[in-house]
Amino acid sequence: MGTDGHDCAQLRALAALLAADRVDAALEAGLMEVHAEAGACAPCVEAWAQVSAAQQRLRFAWAARERYRAREARLARRAAERQARRIKPAATPSPQAPALPPAVAAALARAKARAAGTPRT
């Protein structure tokens, strides 16, 4: 343990993994769980700087990934809504015209006869 309560060995091991570009291994070793103070013991200052910078980069990258996924979901939802509006179910046309009520049929027949110029009977 360091003088301020952090684990010097873990901090140095994480810094070594990060220096070797083994981020996955550093994550498995607890990279995001390390919460050493900025005033780490003198031998750990450089290691803490590396760990802290890596934590910040990962948090930023994960937040960006979440924003991207949310945007993709929002765009997909909008596209589906737009597609649904474009393809409305067409009313099925009936093969025969609906029958008119008898009074309307008689009025239509009189109007057609008047238009044709035939006398009323």
Determine the pLDDT at residue 1: 47
Determine the pLDDT at residue 99: 81
**pLDDT by residue, tens only, the chain of 121 residues:** 445 556 788 888 999 999 999 999 999 999 998 876 655 677 788 888 899 999 999 999 999 999 999 999 999 999 999 998 888 766 665 667 668 888 988 999 999 988 888 665 5
Determine the pLDDT at residue 95: 64
Using a 10 angstrom Cβ sphere, with 0-12 exposed, 13-18 middle and 19 or more buried, the burial of residue 43 is exposed
Cα–Cα distance measured from residue 26 to residue 43, given in angstroms and rounded to the nearest whole number:
20
The distance of Cα 39 from the centroid of its chain, to the nearest Å, equals 40
pTM: 0.59
Asked whether 48 and 38 are in contact (CB, 8 A), the reply is: yes
Determine the pLDDT at residue 43: 77
Determine the pLDDT at residue 23: 93
